Structure 1
Amino acid sequence: MGETLIFGHRGSKGTHPENTLLGFAHACHIGAEGLELDVHMSKDGELVVIHDEKLDRTTTGSGYVKDLNLNEIKQYSAGKKFKHLSFYDSSWEKETVPTLEEVLELTADYQVSLNIELKTDTFSYPGIEKKALELSERYHLKSRIIFSSFNLSTLIRIKTLDPEAHTAFLTSKRHLDLERMIQDHQLSGLHLNRSFLISKSNLFTTEHSVPVRVWTVNSARSIKKALDLKLAGIITDYPEKALELKKKHAQSVKHAGINFSGVFN
Structure 2
Amino acid sequence: MGETLIFGHRGSKGTHPENTLLGFAHACHIGAEGLELDVHMSKDGELVVIHDEKLDRTTTGSGYVKDLNLNEIKQYSAGKKFKHLSFYDSSWEKETVPTLEEVLELTADYQVSLNIELKTDTFSYPGIEKKALELSERYHLKSRIIFSSFNLSTLIRIKTLDPEAHTAFLTSKRHLDLERMIQDHQLSGLHLNRSFLISKSNLFTTEHSVPVRVWTVNSARSIKKALDLKLAGIITDYPEKALELKKKHAQSVKHAGINFSGVFKLKH
**SS of residue matched to 2:170:** strand
Partner Cα distance (2:263, 2:134) in 1: 34
Per-residue displacement from partner, 1:94-145 (whole Å, max 9, x unpaired)?
Answer: 0000000000000000000000000000000000000000000000000000
Query: For residues 202 and 156 of structure 1, what CA distance do their matches in structure 2 show?
Result: 30
Of residues 70-79 and 202-211 in structure 1, the stretch that sits farther from structure 2 once superposed is: 202-211
**Structure 1 residue runs of 4+, over 3 Å off?**
201-208, 261-265
Alignment RMSD, CA only? 1.5
Deviation at 1:225, TM superposition (A): 0.1
The 3-state SS of whatever aligns with 1:191 is strand
8 Å contact kept, 1:229–1:261: no
CA shift for structure 1 position 40: 0.0
The SS at the match of 1:101 is: helix
C-alpha displacement of 1:205? 5.3
Q: Distance in 1 between the 2:243 and 2:111 partners?
A: 15
Conserved? CA contact 2:197–2:204, under 8 Å: no
Q: Is the CA contact 2:208–2:263 (under 8 Å) kept in the aligned structure 1?
A: no
User: Cα distance, 1:262 vs. partner?
Assistant: 4.7
Q: CA deviation at 1:209?
A: 1.3
Q: Partners of 2:206 and 2:161 in 1: how far apart?
A: 28
Q: Give the SS at the match of 2:202.
A: coil
CA distance in 1, matches of 2:208, 2:38: 28
CA distances 1:207-259 after superposition (whole Å, capped 9, x unpaired): 66100000000000000000000000000000000000000000000001111
TM-score (norm 2): 0.97
How many Å separate the matches in 2 of 1:7 and 1:62? 29
Distance (whole Å) between structure 2 residues aligned to residue 263 and residue 213 of structure 1: 12
3-state SS of paired residue (2:53): coil
Deviation at 1:202, TM superposition (A): 4.1
Provide structure 1 residue ranges, at least 5 long, that are not aligned to the other structure: none
Deviation of 1:26 after TM superposition, in Å, equals 0.2
CA distance in 2, matches of 1:96, 1:217: 27
User: Against the structure 1 CA distance between its residues 197 and 90, is the aligned structure 2 distance closer, same or farther, given a 3 Å change threshold?
Assistant: same
- Show CA shifts across 1:60-101 (max 9, x none): 000000000000000000000000000000000000000000
- Residue by residue, what CA displacement relative to the aligned partner does 1:185-217 show, whole Å, maximum 9, x if unpaired? 000000000001111334355866100000000
**Contact map agreement 1:179 1:206 (CA 8 A) in 2:** no
Whole-Å separation in 2 of the counterparts to 1:38 and 1:16: 16
1:38-61 Cα distance to aligned partner (Å, 9 max, x none): 000000000000000000000000
Q: State how far apart, in whole Å, the 2-side matches of 1:259 and 1:206 are.
A: 14
8 Å CA contact 2:216–2:237 kept in 1: the answer is yes
Unaligned runs of 5+ in 2: none
SS of residue matched to 1:23: helix
1:34–1:113 Cα contact (<8 Å) kept: yes
Give the alignment's TM-score, normalised by structure 1. Answer: 0.98
Cα distance in structure 2, aligned partners of 1:211 and 1:65: 32
- 8 Å Cα contact 1:204-1:263 kept in structure 2: no
